[in-house]
Structure 1
Amino acid sequence: MWSRIGRAGVTALVLPCSLLALTAAQSAYAALGSAPLTPPSDASVSSRVVQPASGTSQSVMRSESSAASSTSSTPASYTVRETTFGNGTVVREYLSTSGAVFGISWHGPQMPDLSDLLGSYFPQYVAGVKAVRAARSNARGPVAVDESGLVVRSGGHMGAFSGVAWLPSALPAGVSGSDIQ
């Protein structure tokens, strides 16, 4: 039977199943523009408070049950919360003092589920990707969506994916898009 299907047929069967398994393994993390979501049980989480005016940061390791507590007596400009998934992919959430996610970055061997990461901004991202790819007539390669309300840059190859996304209007004072890494 496999000899009649051929390599293209096997790829057509395996790829959707692989994407479904990948989505299930890494879903429900950050949602751009809203509160951070709970990471999966196989993930490790660390946080650091960043003061952009002084350029200093304070690293802290916190469990999810104590993630809402403050570890610094000075007001934080923003918090960077880094989660390492069991598969090695790292997602960083950039949180404002109100707890809203204003930026996200990712890197690792597997692409995270962008519909979860971008939340309600995902349809805007998809439309931007379609426009970029139509303009360059190439359906492959890195993608940069740079709109007034959303910036997303994503690229990589099998085993090494990376990207960033942020909301320009939600960046705290003293923070630029280049700070999302």
Structure 2
Amino acid sequence: MKTCSLIQAGRAAACACALSCLSLAAAPAHAALGDAPTVPPGASSHPLAGGAARVVSYVDDGGATVNEYVASASGTVFAYTWQGPTQPNLEALLGRYAADWRSAAAAQHAAGRDDLHGARVVGAQVVVETGGHMRAYAGRAWLPAALPEGVAEGDLQ
């Protein structure tokens, strides 16, 4: 049986810590629904609904164009839309609303109301629409109760 010294164990732990820090630093930073926005490098922004909101657009690591909708009054993200060759990480975008989405999707599936190429899942707090096919995905997710005055569901494109 081979044993290692405390020095070797310490070096291994330090190396593991450094690697995990590097992997976290490489992860893309973005906000989830209901959070304050984080603007990725290279993002563009424009006002919506006379300034009631702003749209921050960026391209994620998978090549999808993601639009982050931020309410001017509250300063929080109330919606996302996306289009591109990959789906964004919905769990990350939905944040604390992901459980609501998962349970609503499971209920919809159990009732036999799901579709191969698209879905509209209406949860208690969040609505998620996804669709498309390989290399051409599109969708949107939003908090209906958080839509700013003057912003309609149809404005989320």
What band does the TM-score fall into relative to the shorter chain? 0.7 to 0.9
Check the 8 A contact 1:26/1:113 in 2, yes or no: no
The separation in 1 between residues aligned to 2:113 and 2:146, in whole angstroms, is: 32
1:159 aligns with 2:135: yes
Partner of 1:106: 82
- Do residues 93 (structure 1) and 68 (structure 2) align? yes
CA RMSD of aligned residues (A): 2.1
1:1-181 residue pairs with structure 2 within 5 A?
27-39=28-40, 44-50=42-48, 52=49, 76-97=51-72, 98-136=74-112, 140-181=116-157
Matched residue SS, 1:44 = coil
1:142–1:153 contact (8 Å) kept in structure 2? yes
Number of the residue aligned with 1:9: none
Give the drift of 1:139: 7.0
Larger radius of gyration: 2
**SS of the residue 1:136 aligns to:** coil
Question: What TM-score do the two structures reach when normalised by structure 1?
Answer: 0.65
Distance 1:28 1:134 in 2: 34
Question: Are the aligned partners of 1:27 and 1:113 in contact in 2 as well (CA < 8 Å)?
Answer: no
Contact 2:97 2:125 in 1 (8 A): no
Q: Percent identity?
A: 40
* Structure 1 residue aligned with 2:15: none
Letter in 1 for 2:33: L
Separation in structure 2 between the aligned mates of residue 155 and residue 83 of structure 1, nearest angstrom: 20
Q: Any unmatched runs of 5+ in structure 1?
A: 1-24, 54-75
